[in-house]
Amino acid sequence: MIRSVSSFLAIAIAFSTANLLSAQEKKADRSTLAIDAGHLEFFEKEVRPLLIKHCYECHGNGEVDGGLAVDYRDGLLQGGDSGVAIIPGKPDESLFIEAIRYKNEDMQMPPDGKISSAEIKVLEKWVAMGSPDPREKSTEGNHKAAMGMSIVEGKQFWSFLPISNPDVPMVKNKDWVKSPIDAFILAKLEEKNLKPAPRAAKTTLIRRVTLDLIGLPPTPQEIDAFVADQTPDAFEKVVERLLDSPQYGVRWGRHWLDVVRYADSNGLDENLAYGNAWRFRDYVINSYNNDKPFDRFLIEQLAGDLLPDSNRETITATGFLVLGAKVLAEPDREKLMMDTIDEQLEAVGKAFLGMSFGCVRCHDHKFDPVKQSDYYALGAIFKGTKTFADSNTGSIKHWHEHSFATPEELKSLKKIDAEIAKKKSAAASFKNKAVVKLRNEARTKATEYLMAASKFDTSTSLRRVDAIAEPLGLHARILHHCRLHLDYHRDDSFFKTWHELNAKQDQQGIEQHYRPLFEEAETAFQTARKKDPKVKKLDDARLEPARAALYDLYGFLEVPAKPEFAFDQKTLSEYYRLMEEARILESNAPDATSVMSVADGTVQRELPVHIRGSHRNLGKPVAREFPEVMRTSTVRPVFRSDQSGRLELARWMASTSHPLTSRVYVNRIWRWHFGAGIVKTTDNFGKIGSQPTHPELLDWLARRFMETGWSTKQMHRLILSSSVYQMQSQTGHGQTSQVDPHKVDPENDLLWEFRIQRLEAEQLRDAVLAVSDRLDISLGGKTVPLRNRQFVFNHTSVDHTKYDSLRRAVYLPVIRNNLYTLFEQFDFPDPTTPTGSRNTTTVAPQALLMLNSPLIMESAEKLAKNLLKQPGDDVEKIRLAYRKTLGRHPSKQESKRALGFIQGISGLAMLNAAKVDPIQKQRAWALLCQALISSNEFIYVR
């Protein structure tokens, strides 16, 4: 009621205001003058109130949802994002009318329900009469101004400017400069009168660089060798040793896997195993170990299948485009295609260009100079690319793969597939037989069920039903169901007698009525079947209902569908055993050699702009092109007419004149070494991203990177040899300079000291295994324990994925929707979005994991065992424990404290026993080792 009064008021007010306005503006208002008086009256009386009532909330008074305003004449005539709203005189061609008619499921207005048909008629009539409309645009209308940067402005934005060639700056403290990088950093520090921190101790340095380059802590022997090496290039030798280690690719390949949102399963709606993703993972690790030039690396991942020298390796690389999370069961194929392209564009943009293209799908970028037309120009390239295969499993579409299987391989796989099918059907047939047995048993006791059902009512709990069923040898769930069935089927004439007798609690009567009936029916049915095995019914109208009730699978004797409910423990465990056998066979079965990859599909030379991102609302087509603001040539690119255009796109992105590619990548390398990028937002070089703290250094590095043939390892050498990398961290109160750097530069943006960094999830896990001598450092191969396209867990939520492998963490399965707990808790990035800079959060569940998880406890126990095997006294063992875990000797005080801890705990046992219990002693050592592994010093790199 209140609502209708207020809307009435609103109408009245709007009406009078409109009259006022039209009176005031009569001179300027041609249309008002032109409107026939009758039409005007029709509009004011009939039309305007409807528009106010149903439309203004979203399309009036400054609100322009969908770009459409309906509170002034030209708003409707010009229309919104979907086009012109009204064609005067042509209701059937006017989108406005189409929307209110509610016939097009993609365009229905108002959104909260169809207006009455009388109201629709009014509006149809209005449009048919030429939509007479006196309303002018209100002058103070706060229509949202166009947002974002223009292309011209964008060309002047720092990240789109050509890469400069800066001079190395002059500095005062020349002795500190070991590499041009130092000069760039020092120049800014000197501007603020800041001094760089002193060089870190050798023990700190070797721990830092070893964890940085190979993701493992240095061994005591490696530390000793470095400390003993007094040659000037001792550190460089360590760096070379580490860069030559295949473990380098394991660590740095993982960085790139963050950027490409690597995972071993699809996640999102249907979590199918990416059983061949590991081949892409190994490709990345190998590429880092071989120092594959980054320009080539980029081209392979975007267009490895189109290269003239395309081969298995380069085709594997295109897995990059397929790895995204997809809504595999999306029934609307066209939507799925556009969503997938969107995911790909977002990944390509973020990974290589530091640009977010995702938000340009629906409208021009709100901040960056990227236009919707740029998006669909790129979209055309990916629309011409096949990411999905033509096959599917039920409603689940298959992603595209390229097979390298030999005929022999395929033949042997057929055999394995048959074996799996056999195992599966063995389980199914066991289940079916058991169900049939239960059915038959229930049928022979049909009368007993009906009698027992009379002993309780529908609200009786199953536990009490069980007490009734058990002594009678009946199945409690069947009996329970039987009672409910009888109640729901009061209308069933066959059970009419039961209800009558039940009301009198006459169980004997029930027996007298139903037993002979069932027996007769059963006998008659068996006899009839002997004559004709195909017989389905009895002709006898008296007996047929009894037969039907007995043989109705969903009747009063229905066997519960859930095996847990139907079967006894023995049958159930046998059924589970058979299921598990089939699952294990399938999980471990090999797949045909095949790689996740894309291929060219039907070439799309152009793609229409999708209005507001909808594939059902198409606008002007745009031809394949590169984003305008990044173009370095005024010549329109030439795309081959027989290819998607990915190769041209990749080559353009990998060219030395591209303003973003090299900047974005060297900034990533910098971030991974220092814990923060020169541009902190590693995946966003746009307006919302951060500005570079050292823009000249960034350009200098980008140039140097390209000059050295896009070599990642050369960048490591350059950066690691600098004084900047070798500074102390946490110098805080030890600063000698007169200016307090904490006040001048609290975030350490200028790098006056090295940043302390927490170990990443994989570093932590691998370090724990390494110091307890449990780590297996073998490389490569399939590690996800699932067959390609097998459900990780479909409806069951049982996750069979195990993480007890002792191989390096990069080889642990990355299961979307259910990450390994340690990964999840220690800020492993969301494997559905490209991530260049992981977070570091500290939450209590991490501490629970350090205190209580089997991984940490078992490793601590192993480390303790190893220590106890060593010669020497307890003090010597404590020293070794510190060297292994923290890479240094304990102080005297630390040693004393540790000893006190061991003796205190062993001593607890001594009170009860004559001598120290060896188990208790080992436990004490394990607790000490666990404490060391859990300490801040272990988990932070200084």
Give, as ranges, the residues between 682 and 741 that touch other proteins (CB under 8 A).
683-684, 686-689, 730, 732-733
Contact 790, 398 (CB under 8 A): no
- How many Å apart are CA 192 and CA 190, to the nearest integer? 5
Q: Which residues contact 432 (CB under 8 A, 6 or more apart)?
A: none
Give min distance, CB of 377 to other proteins, in A.
19
675 vs 692 by CB, closer to other proteins: 675
Angle value at C-alpha 72, between 69 and 75, nearest 5 degrees: 45
Among 344, 385, 387, 930, binds other proteins (CB under 8 A): 930
What angle do the packed helices 446-453 and 407-444 form, to 10 degrees? 60
Q: Which two tokens stand for residue 671?
A: 């971030």
- Binding segment for other proteins (CB under 8 A), chosen from 71-79, 172-180, 528-536, 811-819, is 811-819
Site for other proteins in 572-631 (CB under 8 A): none
Among 330, 364, 600, 760, binds other proteins (CB under 8 A): 330
- How many Å apart are CA 483 and CA 718, to the nearest integer? 81
111 vs 232 by CB, closer to other proteins: 111
Give min distance, CB of 115 to other proteins, in A.
11
8 vs 488 by CB, closer to other proteins: 488
Give min distance, CB of 398 to other proteins, in A.
16
Give min distance, CB of 798 to other proteins, in A.
4
359 binds other proteins (CB under 8 A): yes
305 vs 339 by CB, closer to other proteins: 339
Contact 160, 718 (CB under 8 A): no
Smallest CA-to-CA distance from 13 within 50, 60, 49, 57 is with 49
528 vs 857 by CB, closer to other proteins: 857
- Binding segment for other proteins (CB under 8 A), chosen from 209-217, 355-363, 424-432, 530-538, is 355-363
**Does residue 753 sit in helix, strand or coil?**
coil
Among 793, 865, 888, 903, binds other proteins (CB under 8 A): 793
Give min distance, CB of 734 to other proteins, in A.
8
Cis amide prior to 110 (ω within 30 degrees): yes
Among 238, 453, 630, 932, binds other proteins (CB under 8 A): 932
Among 14, 285, 325, 381, binds other proteins (CB under 8 A): 325
DSSP 320-385: HHH-S---TT-S-HHHHHHHHHHHHHHHHIIIII----GGGTTSS-SSSS--HHHHHHHHHHHHTE
Q: Which two tokens stand for residue 310?
A: 């395309």
CA distances from 419 to 412, 428, 432, 583, 591 (A): 11, 14, 20, 12, 14
Smallest CA-to-CA distance from 478 within 570, 562, 543, 576 is with 562
Give min distance, CB of 630 to other proteins, in A.
16
Site for other proteins in 819-848 (CB under 8 A): 819, 821, 824, 827, 830, 832-833, 839-848
366 vs 704 by CB, closer to other proteins: 366
Angle value at C-alpha 68, between 65 and 69, nearest 5 degrees: 100
Site string for other proteins, 626-665 (x = CB under 8 A): ----------------------------------------
CA distances from 128 to 49, 88, 777 (A): 18, 7, 78
Dihedral sign for Cα 703, 708, 710, 715, please. negative
Ranges of beta strands (E only) in 160-289 are none
Give min distance, CB of 189 to other proteins, in A.
20
Among 1, 5, 30, 112, binds other proteins (CB under 8 A): 112
Among 92, 167, 191, 799, binds other proteins (CB under 8 A): 799
266 vs 722 by CB, closer to other proteins: 266
Q: Which two tokens stand for residue 469?
A: 């069923």
214 vs 939 by CB, closer to other proteins: 939
Give min distance, CB of 292 to other proteins, in A.
28
Among 111, 407, 471, 746, binds other proteins (CB under 8 A): 111
332 binds other proteins (CB under 8 A): yes
Give min distance, CB of 540 to other proteins, in A.
26
413 membership: H or E segment, kind and range: helix 407-444
Among 29, 182, 212, 270, binds other proteins (CB under 8 A): 270
Among 558, 580, 581, 628, binds other proteins (CB under 8 A): 558
191 vs 332 by CB, closer to other proteins: 332
935 binds other proteins (CB under 8 A): yes
CA atoms within 13 A on the CB side of 343: 21
Contact 182, 208 (CB under 8 A): no
Among 19, 395, 523, 527, binds other proteins (CB under 8 A): 395
Site for other proteins in 187-226 (CB under 8 A): none
Angle value at C-alpha 323, between 318 and 324, nearest 5 degrees: 125
Among 71, 133, 182, 339, binds other proteins (CB under 8 A): 339
Contact 790, 275 (CB under 8 A): yes
Among 587, 656, 853, 922, binds other proteins (CB under 8 A): 853
# residues near other proteins by CB under 8 A: 107
Ranges of beta strands (E only) in 661-762 are 757-758
- How many Å apart are CA 881 and CA 887, to the nearest integer? 9
Smallest CA-to-CA distance from 352 within 313, 306, 310, 302 is with 302
Give min distance, CB of 815 to other proteins, in A.
9
Ranges of beta strands (E only) in 460-531 are none
161 vs 847 by CB, closer to other proteins: 847
Give min distance, CB of 845 to other proteins, in A.
7
928 binds other proteins (CB under 8 A): yes
Give min distance, CB of 612 to other proteins, in A.
9
DSSP-H helix ranges across 139-214: 151-155, 180-191, 202-214
535 binds other proteins (CB under 8 A): no
Contact 364, 376 (CB under 8 A): no
Smallest CA-to-CA distance from 664 within 169, 250, 298 is with 298
Residue written as tokens 């070439």?
Answer: 603
267 binds other proteins (CB under 8 A): yes
Site for other proteins in 484-503 (CB under 8 A): 484, 488
331 binds other proteins (CB under 8 A): yes
- Binding segment for other proteins (CB under 8 A), chosen from 123-131, 365-373, 523-531, 645-653, is 365-373
- Binding segment for other proteins (CB under 8 A), chosen from 422-430, 459-467, 642-650, 651-659, is 459-467
Site string for other proteins, 63-92 (x = CB under 8 A): --x---------------------------
Contact 820, 812 (CB under 8 A): yes
What angle do the packed helices 661-674 and 695-707 form, to 10 degrees? 110
183 binds other proteins (CB under 8 A): no
Site string for other proteins, 885-904 (x = CB under 8 A): ---------x--xx--x--x
Smallest CA-to-CA distance from 650 within 321, 259, 342 is with 321
392 membership: H or E segment, kind and range: strand 388-393
Q: Which amino acid is at 701?
A: L
Give min distance, CB of 162 to other proteins, in A.
23
Whole-angstrom distance between the N-terminal and C-terminal Cα of the chain?
69
Give min distance, CB of 461 to other proteins, in A.
3
- How many Å apart are CA 905 and CA 13, to the nearest integer? 84
Residue written as tokens 């964890």?
Answer: 211
